[in-house]
Amino acid sequence: MPHTARGTFTVTLQPLPFEGQPEGSALGRRSIDKQIAGDLVATTRGQMLSAGGNVKGSAGYVAVEHVEGTLHGKAGAFVLQHTGTMNRGTPSLRVSVVPDSGTGALTGLSGEFAIIIAGGVHSYEFVYELP
């Protein structure tokens, strides 16, 4: 049976070196650090790779982040995988739990983590299942 966790988070992105990047390319690499509050209370650490398109408003990114904390009172860790695109200003984003990445009381966790940005505030809706 699916459960839903909701809350807010703050995120810090820092540029990292991107070795072997062709000169003039729009490739980037950043660290991701989040503090998550609400039904999921956690800290994350991860990295993002991004690419800008040749048309304004077009880009893509992939990322992975290790999440450690408590989800509705259950302690453990898991990994989130991001796949995002911006097609001439139209966004598409999927953030999902990497299969079999859960530990502790979160072993067997699966789900989708929706990121919502409204009024400058980052929030989430995490629809998940546990065995």
Task: CATH number of the domain at 46, please.
Answer: 2.40.350.10
Determine the pLDDT at residue 40: 98
C-alpha to C-alpha distance for 122 and 97, rounded to whole angstroms: 19
Q: Is 119 exposed, middle or buried (0-12, 13-18, 19+ CB in 10 A)?
A: exposed
CB 76 within 8 A of CB 67: no
Q: Which residue segment(s) compose the domain that 65 sits in?
A: 3-16+25-129
Total domain count, the chain? 1
Task: Supply the DSSP symbol for 121.
Answer: E
| Mean pLDDT by groups of 10 residues along the chain of 131 residues | 97 93 88 98 98 93 98 98 95 96 98 95 97 94
The model's pTM: 0.93
Tokens of 78: 């898991």
| Predicted local confidence at residue 21, as pLDDT | 83
